[in-house]
Chains A and B, each alone.
Chain A
Amino acid sequence: MPETPAQKKTGAQTILIPTASGLYCPAGDFYIDPTRKVARAIITHGHSDHARKGHGAVLATRATLAFMALRYGKNFAGTSQIVKEGETLTLGDAKVTLLAAGHMLGSVQVHIEHQGATAIISGDFKRSADPTCPSFDVRPCDLFVAEATFALPIYRHPPPEGEIEKLLLSLHLFADRPHLVHAYSIGKAQRVIALLRQAGYDEPIHVHKAIAEASLIYENEGVSLGSLETLGADLSDPQAFDGKIILSPPGGVAEALHAPVTSFASGWMRLKSAAKSRGGDLPLILSDHADWDELVTTVKDVGAETLWITHGREDVLAAHIKETLGVDAKALSAVPFAPEGLQP
């Protein structure tokens, strides 16, 4: 007997249950990006707010597992298993497929199918092109759980090429000074490097040790980043870095550099107030998270009947989506937690 839409909707909403440890899939008995130690976890990508150590068994892409090993050491989990993007696994009663999320190398959405209903957990994602990872794979679903860091309509990222041009222009005008670009060491830093290479910049780029280590994983995964030089301890040679780009995680390089032009690459740099207080001389609006327009487009694209939103101003996005698309949208925090006893 075919399911009625109402049944299907209910079906999709039972695929996932918010719990104190994070989103739980009872049909497959696993968590997605759990915040506490659990028996079985699917990890969407290597950032530390998603990939934590100490789980019993971990499923993730090869790159994500490599980032976890880099951060936490080899024994970051009891066991780990590589899943390829697009590959479908059967976990308990659920069919699970990891789909490219376009956020960083190895980042995926988790597509879960159970009794004819589908749910997708976006994980961190973006829609704009990124030379370091495959772009967001659009699949239809009934329930879409969207990460929405920039869920305010003022957050609209400019094209990344333009931001890189700003950096190159500054390098041209201030060839007598080092250019210290602050970017997170996994993901953002490599994207900045790849964008620079795309723009034709082929000079060696000086990188903080943490970035150098993560970049090796990129090279191993076939993402070429050109010539990188790891920063040593001594940065005080006043001329050595003039006219060079130095990439470092925020706080990674002290004031040792001589008169650097400082820059911070982040989506938050969209607002002048943030750019003035944190952006240094050269704020670059470069984000690996969907902006407002991408969020709205993506919800449209996946065609979900139900939308749960995490991060950002969930209320604003939920209200807008409800009104314009007629989707049942709410903040994930407003979805009732699992009843006692259902969680393992």
Chain B
Amino acid sequence: MTPRSLAVEDLIHQLEMRRSTADQRRFLAHWLKGLPSKILAPCLGLLLGRPLGATVTVPALKTALFCRVNKDLFDASKEAGSDLSETLALLWPGGNEPLDLADLVAAVRTGPKDERLDTVAALLDKSNALARDLVMRVSTGRFKSPVSPDLLRSTLAEVFSRPVADIEQNLANSEETLDPFSSWLFGVPFPETLAEQTGFLSLPTIQACEPDATGGANLCIALPSGSYAQLVSNPDSCHLYTLAGDRLEGPENYEELPPKTTLLIFLPKNPAAQPLLLDILIKDGEDLRNLPRQQRLGALEELAAAGALSGFARTEVEPLPAAASLGATFDNPSIDRLFLLHAAGTLDPSSDTLGEVLRPPHELYFKILYAEGTLSRQGIFAGVVTLGAPATTSKQGNYAELVPVGKASLHRLSQKDKSTLETYIAENTLERFGPVRKLAATEDTSLIARVICRSIDRASRRKAGLVLKEANVMELFDNSAAYRVSSLDELAPLALW
């Protein structure tokens, strides 16, 4: 029972009803995840309070309403309704369809002026009640965004795993229309074909899909060499969609896909999608499916070594990432060496490669030097922390010399860890500068943060000489758990020079 994605009028309604920002954030995040890029720009425009401009007047809408409904009914109802837009919307006969915001934008922005009222009326005629209310408010310039720009920016950052600063900058650069922002966010040129429109990579070369002995599916991708490999989606960053006619459906469990289905694979640039090549089924036209798996893995390894898997970086992963979930799918404990193939970057649907190669993320441990942000209504700290590392690996102590190495986001932390952090911040604040709190970070302080960061950049102007990029605090540990804090000595070789 997966709840359907939210229509924009339902989202607005929920945002208007929920009083807490934390609640609003969850609705926004859910909605953004199910949102096709095609309508991202107009929706964001609405939510950012960039009105489309009043294009029809209330008296004109009233006149149009009275062609449909007796004026007496309006007079009798206007006292009872919450506001004028709502009264008009509820009285308007309407239909059951959700709002297509793109239709509305087209109607109010681009249509010929003297036809706008007719277009808006036609939209009202087919829309459901909440949608009609939104159309009324938007087209008459009465709509006010129920969320703050800050909340929207930070939720976008969270959902698309982009730094807030990048979101802000790109929004600022998209004053006129948000289309450039949308293209930037989805990482593909803005609309033409469906694949581009939705920011999904089309892989029409998938050849077959059949359940294997372990219950997993043999989902084959044609690799550049003319070989085929098995693809497993990484549930964190890769979702599989199906294309049936012109309808995009999904995310789906790929095990249920019929053969010859065209798959669209959602590969967000950041964090990089991480398709795992687990197996090779067909090599140069030779069917390897009856060979022992060990031999097939050998064949895959050869291909990778020969560079035939162009566009993929090859990393042996040990221990297996997400071993638990893979185990559940494949139930094969003999798989102990796998290739974690990282692919990301600008996606080109016409090319066979998956684009720019990214390195695997770093897993590191740090102390927390500063916390920046605010306590939410639920008392949960929302914001970023500055991480600190000692210059050299020390057995004990010397934490007075912790050097800042960069900021990390907290949105991946569990609720439980968030409240642990909140208590920690409350007990260890040394000084406050506005929203920034300097925390005691010595050998006595108990908290160690497990951090995943996409890359480490060289930064000559910083004391540490390097800076973490796209770092996320994943987990918090007690000092006693014997996790060693990463030192600058260890970080330096990881930095991209």
- List residues of A whose CB falls within 8 A of some B CB: 152-156, 158-159, 165-166, 168-169, 172-174, 176, 199-201, 259, 261, 270-276, 279, 281-283, 313, 315-316, 319-320, 323
Contact of B87 among A154, A275, A313 (CB under 8 A): A154
Nearest residue, chain A, Cβ from B1: A200
A158 to B14, CA, bound (A): 16
- Contact between B17 and A152 (Cβ–Cβ < 8 Å)? no
Question: Binding site of A, secondary structure by majority: helix, strand, loop or mixed?
Answer: mixed
The answer to the question of B113 belonging to the interface, with a C-beta cut-off of 8 Å to chain A, is: no
* Contact pick for A173, options B10, B19, B26, B378, CB 8 Å: B26
Does B415 lie within 8 Å of A154, measured CB to CB? no
Chain A residue with the shortest CB-CB distance to B3 = A169
Partner of B16, one of A152, A272, A315: A272
* Cα distance, A271 to B81, chains bound together (Å): 6
Contacts of A173 in B (CB 8 A): 26-27, 30
Would you call B90 and A158 a contact (CB within 8 A)?
A: no
A272, B82: Cβ atoms closer than 8 Å: yes
CA distance A90 to B87 in the complex (A): 47
Indicate if the CB atoms of A165 and B81 lie closer than 8 Å: no
A199–B96 Cα distance when bound, in Å, is: 19
Residue of B30, B77, B96 most packed against chain A (CB within 10 A): B77
B415 touching A158 by the CB < 8 A rule?
A: no
Measured between beta carbons, the chain B residues less than 8 angstroms from A169 are 3-4, 6, 30
Query: Which of chain A's residues have a CB closer than 8 A to the CB of B96?
Result: 159
Determine whether B129 belongs to the interface, using a CB cutoff of 8 Å to chain A: yes
Distance of A204 from chain B, by nearest CB (Å) = 15
Residue of A nearest to B130 (CB): A158
Within 8 A of A (CB), among B164-210: none
Whether the pair B16, A166 counts as a contact (CB closer than 8 A) is no
Instruction: Name B residues whose Cβ lies closer than 8 Å to a Cβ of A.
Output: 1-4, 6, 10, 14, 16-19, 23, 26-27, 30, 69-70, 72-73, 76-77, 80-83, 86-87, 90-91, 96, 128-130, 378, 415
* CB contact under 8 A between A271 and B129, given known A154-B87, A276-B17, A281-B18: no
Contact B70 A273 (CB under 8 A): no
With both chains docked as a complex, state the minimum distance between the C-beta of A55 and any C-beta of chain B, in angstroms. 36
How close is A245's CB to chain B, nearest CB, in angstroms? 13
Alpha-carbon gap, A261 to B27, bound state (A): 13
| Apart from A169-B4, A169-B30: 20 A-B pairs, beta carbons within 8 A | A152-B76, A152-B80, A153-B73, A154-B77, A154-B81, A168-B1, A169-B6, A172-B2, A173-B26, A199-B1, A200-B1, A201-B1, A273-B82, A276-B82, A281-B18, A313-B76, A316-B76, A316-B77, A320-B72, A323-B70
Contact present for B73 and A320 (CB under 8 Å): yes
Assess the B10–A156 pair: CB atoms within 8 A. Answer: no
Chain B interface main SS type: helix
Q: If the complex has contacts A153-B73, A169-B6, A276-B17, are A270 and B23 also in contact, measured as CB distance less than 8 A?
A: no
The residue in A159, A166, A271, A272 that gathers the most chain B C-beta atoms within 10 A of its C-beta is A272
- Minimum CB–CB distance from B413 to chain A (whole Å) comes to 14
> Who on chain B is nearest to A167 by CB?
B3
Please determine whether B3 and A271 come into contact, CB atoms closer than 8 angstroms: no
A selection of 17 A-B contacts at a CB cut-off of 8 Å is A153-B69, A154-B80, A154-B86, A154-B90, A158-B128, A166-B14, A168-B1, A172-B2, A173-B27, A200-B1, A270-B90, A271-B82, A273-B82, A276-B82, A281-B17, A281-B18, A319-B72
Q: Which residues of chain A are within 8 angstroms of B69 by Cβ–Cβ distance?
A: 153
Closest chain A residue, CB of each to CB of B76? A316
Cross-chain contact A271 with B23 (CB below 8 angstroms):
no
Tell me if B90 and A281 are in contact (CB < 8 A): no
With contact pairs A154-B90, A259-B378, A320-B70 given, residues A172 and B77 touching in the complex (Cβ less than 8 Å): no
> For residue A174, which residues in chain B have a CB less than 8 angstroms away from its CB?
23, 26
Task: State which of A153, A158, A168 has its C-beta within 8 Å of the C-beta of B77.
Answer: A153
| A165 contacts across to B, CB distance below 8 A | 3-4
Chain B residues with CB under 8 A of A259: 378
Which of A168, A173, A273, A313 has the largest count of B CB atoms less than 10 A from its CB? A173
CB distance from A177 to the nearest CB of B (A): 9
Q: With A166-B10, A199-B1 as known contacts, state yes or no: A282 contacts B17, CB within 8 Å.
A: yes
Q: A271-B81, A272-B16 are in contact. Are A172 and B3 (CB under 8 A)?
A: yes
Within 8 Å CB of A275, what residues of B?
Answer: 17
Picked from B1, B4, B70, B86, the residue with its CB within 8 Å of the CB of A271 is B86
Complex Cα distance A159/B96, Å?
Answer: 9
